[in-house]
Structure 1
Amino acid sequence: MNKLLLITTGGTIASEQTDEGLAPSLSSQQLADFIGGLTAEYDVEVEDLFQLDSSNIQPEEWQCIARTIAREYPNYDGIVLTHGTDTMAYTAAVLSFMLRNVPIPVVITGSQLPIRHPLTDGVENLRCAFAMACSKKPGVYLAFDRKVILGTRAVKVRTTGFDAFESVNCPPAAVVDAGGLKFNESILPKMEGGFVLEDRLCTDVFLMKLIPGLNPEIFDMLLKMNYKGIVIEAFGAGGLNFIRRDLIAQLQKIVEYGISVVVCSQCLYERSDFTIYQAGQKALQSGVVQGFDMTTEAAVTKLMWALGQTEKSEEVKRVFATNFVGEISLT
């Protein structure tokens, strides 16, 4: 019988109705008791970390989760983490970087309806998460709606639908069908070396989505606010305006100040390529880092993680030129 740890952090799955709407209130033991028939197949121990709406889960909570997993993983075959859906993709991505070469499956899940609701999707999501946690496939994953997604490829794309998450620019790591849990072995993370907890993060990272006519002086404000990194969602394959409102000149200025700038596409699918157009090539000449086909969640958390390890811009570029856990396609 596989020994699993169920860690709870709140979210919709553990919520109950209050005078102010749904709020997390169920403990890990209450959650386990409610799904007792499901956990009977496994040797499950439980641990409460938080009772938080995931909107309130921030880098400090990510570090607490990572340190808990680092402390507990030697005692278990797999770990399941319940979490609210709103920031679940950010948590899945950052844990993928912080838990380097984690030797067991760490599977994050939650639900769109509370576990006590008669039509909840929580039981099915937990069923899938437990199965993945027993798979002996090391890495960080997100399990939802009978799909298992790499932690760095998950994006929440629906607010109420049970198929809330998609695996963007990468096939799912596994799917559930009549044959059970079917793995896509070619994209499962490859663990190289021993486990290392790399939990230092820099929270001074800003995410900006470009719009036509954006005032370039906003970069001066970010400079004064001592931001260390910026992720920009540019147009299409990598466009930034440089006529009248010259964003590229401002980017070059802040890069020279030592701020790391990662530029991705606003498009959810496919990759950015700054070599195609004049605007993109000018951006590359200014010293920005390409995000290629990374999700926004992966780009933001990877930059926080990279800046937690080093403040040297060239080293950050090296980190973004490395595919650690399937977060980026470099060819």
Structure 2
Amino acid sequence: MKILILGTGGTIASAKTERGYKASLSVDEILKIAGIKKRDGVKLESRDILNLDSTLLQPEDWKTIGKAVFEAFGEYDGVVITHGTDTLAYTSSALSFMIRNPPVPVVLTGSMLPITEPESDAPRNLRTALTFAEKGFPGIYVAFMDKIMLGTRVSKVHSTGLNAFQSVNYPDIAYVKEGKLLVRHRPPLPTGEPEFDPDIDPNVAHLRLTPGLSPEVFLAVANNVHGIILEGYGAGGIPYRGRDLLSAVENVSGKKPVVMTTQALYGGVDLTRYEVGRRALEAGVIPAGDMTKEATLVKLMWALGHTRDVAEIREIMGKNLAGEVREV
């Protein structure tokens, strides 16, 4: 068995400098510090494709990472990607849409403390990722704090704590305890031939709905992007009293997709529940369902990379492509 470890930087690859921690270590250096030399019957190979704080990663970098993963399928039985935590959930979602039918486990991981720190969580997370890459099943996943989570369902929920990631509106896939893999939920496995479909349009804005958000601000943003995500309250809805944001949305939604997600971590959007939500539906808003904010953003970019037709984008956003949304 052969496992490929791809390095992209992040906290896990960071060392202290005069200006704070900076990604600088190679995958080989990370493995050496973590004490991971070899695994029984498993050959580990490494390759560094980026070495950046994940704050600096751009949508174009998802294509670079995705291409490296896709090219590994013919030679390796699993792929592990070391990645910074700040944008890890965006990358895991992006890979899930760009790489269809992965034939092997692809596992992203990172750490909240640099590998150079004595109490770093990096060795623990690396071993979890490697165990699933060896013993798990095909798909795109995230490994953190002994948990394996579906790549499109992960969100970072803590800025400093070690248990920084949770699977949102979806069960954890598995746990790793003392080197043993305990499967808790087996998602539908990929079928068909692997396909790399990296076309995306990153010209998307994400606006958080707040009391007093003006229609003028919304329209100014809408005029300069190809799609908008509105992060609403609770189950979803758009205000029309005082400041008539609803009319502004209606003026845009026929020409450009306006997708509504929620500021609540769990539960998702249900625009049929309240009157304000039904008005939003009538105004042409596309509900994100129970997708994470990260998956919603990346999926809209991916959809726009394939079509500008709002009706087609509505259909794509409502369809379950990689476990990201519960179809109704």
Q: What TM-score results when the alignment is normalised by the length of structure 1?
A: 0.95
Contact (CA 8 Å) 1:207, 1:300: kept in 2 or not?
A: yes
Q: 1:101 to 1:267 in 2, by over 3 A?
A: same
Note the C-alpha offset of 1:7: 0.3
- Whole-Å separation in 2 of the counterparts to 1:161 and 1:262: 31
Instruction: Indicate which of 306, 310, 314 corresponds to 2:311.
Output: 314
Task: Tell me the equivalent position of 2:84.
Answer: 84
Note the C-alpha offset of 1:36: 4.5
**Pairing 1:207-222 to 2, within 5 Å after superposition:** 207-222=206-221
Task: Tell me the equivalent position of 1:323.
Answer: 320
Task: Tell me the equivalent position of 1:241.
Answer: 239
Task: Tell me the equivalent position of 1:270.
Answer: 267
Q: 1:140 to 1:311 in 2, by over 3 A?
A: same
- Whole-Å separation in 1 of the counterparts to 2:206 and 2:67: 26
- Whole-Å separation in 1 of the counterparts to 2:114 and 2:201: 33
Structure 1 moving runs of 4+ over 6 Å: none
**Pairing 1:151-166 to 2, within 5 Å after superposition:** 151-166=151-166
Note the C-alpha offset of 1:321: 1.7
Which amino acid is 1:13 matched to? I
Q: What TM-score results when the alignment is normalised by the length of structure 2?
A: 0.96
Note the C-alpha offset of 1:178: 6.0
- Whole-Å separation in 1 of the counterparts to 2:35 and 2:273: 55
Identity across aligned pairs (percent)? 41
Secondary structure of residue in 1 paired with 2:31: helix
Which amino acid is 1:269 matched to? Y
Which amino acid is 1:289 matched to? I
Q: 1:308 to 1:286 in 2, by over 3 A?
A: same
Task: Tell me the equivalent position of 2:287.
Answer: 290
- Whole-Å separation in 2 of the counterparts to 1:51 and 1:271: 34
Secondary structure of residue in 2 paired with 1:143: strand
| Cα displacement string for residues 23-80 of structure 1 (whole angstroms, at most 9, x for unaligned residues) | 0111122223333545333201110111100000110111100111111221100000
Instruction: Indicate which of 292, 296, 300 corresponds to 2:297.
Output: 300
Paired residue total:
327
- Whole-Å separation in 1 of the counterparts to 2:178 and 2:118: 24
Secondary structure of residue in 1 paired with 2:74: helix
Contact (CA 8 Å) 1:155, 1:297: kept in 2 or not?
A: yes
| Cα displacement string for residues 108-165 of structure 1 (whole angstroms, at most 9, x for unaligned residues) | 0000111121111000000000011112411100000000110011111111111010
Task: Tell me the equivalent position of 2:93.
Answer: 93
**Pairing 1:159-238 to 2, within 5 Å after superposition:** 159-177=159-177, 180-186=180-186, 188-225=187-224, 227-238=225-236
Which amino acid is 2:216 matched to? E
Q: 1:65 to 1:189 in 2, by over 3 A?
A: farther
Unmatched runs of 5 consecutive residues or more in structure 1: none
Q: 1:22 to 1:302 in 2, by over 3 A?
A: same
Moved more, 41-50 or 296-305: 41-50
Note the C-alpha offset of 1:219: 2.3
Note the C-alpha offset of 1:176: 2.4
Secondary structure of residue in 1 paired with 2:152: coil
Task: Tell me the equivalent position of 1:53.
Answer: 53
- Whole-Å separation in 1 of the counterparts to 2:178 and 2:35: 24
Contact (CA 8 Å) 1:32, 1:46: kept in 2 or not?
A: no
Secondary structure of residue in 1 paired with 2:135: coil
- Whole-Å separation in 1 of the counterparts to 2:89 and 2:312: 25
- Whole-Å separation in 2 of the counterparts to 1:126 and 1:293: 29
Moved more, 215-224 or 159-168: 215-224
Note the C-alpha offset of 1:329: 1.1
Contact (CA 8 Å) 2:268, 2:290: kept in 1 or not?
A: yes
Task: Tell me the equivalent position of 2:103.
Answer: 103
1:69 paired with 2:64, answer no
- Whole-Å separation in 2 of the counterparts to 1:138 and 1:316: 27
| Cα displacement string for residues 217-251 of structure 1 (whole angstroms, at most 9, x for unaligned residues) | 122212331x1111111111112111121111111
Contact (CA 8 Å) 1:4, 1:77: kept in 2 or not?
A: yes
Note the C-alpha offset of 1:322: 0.8
- Whole-Å separation in 1 of the counterparts to 2:220 and 2:98: 30
- Whole-Å separation in 2 of the counterparts to 1:224 and 1:274: 25
Secondary structure of residue in 2 paired with 1:169: coil
Task: Tell me the equivalent position of 2:133.
Answer: 133
Note the C-alpha offset of 1:179: 8.5
Which amino acid is 2:325 matched to? I
- Whole-Å separation in 2 of the counterparts to 1:159 and 1:97: 26
Note the C-alpha offset of 1:98: 0.5
Which amino acid is 2:92 matched to? A
Secondary structure of residue in 2 paired with 1:29: helix
Secondary structure of residue in 2 paired with 1:75: coil
| Cα displacement string for residues 193-223 of structure 1 (whole angstroms, at most 9, x for unaligned residues) | 2111110110111111100111011222123
- Whole-Å separation in 1 of the counterparts to 2:82 and 2:92: 11
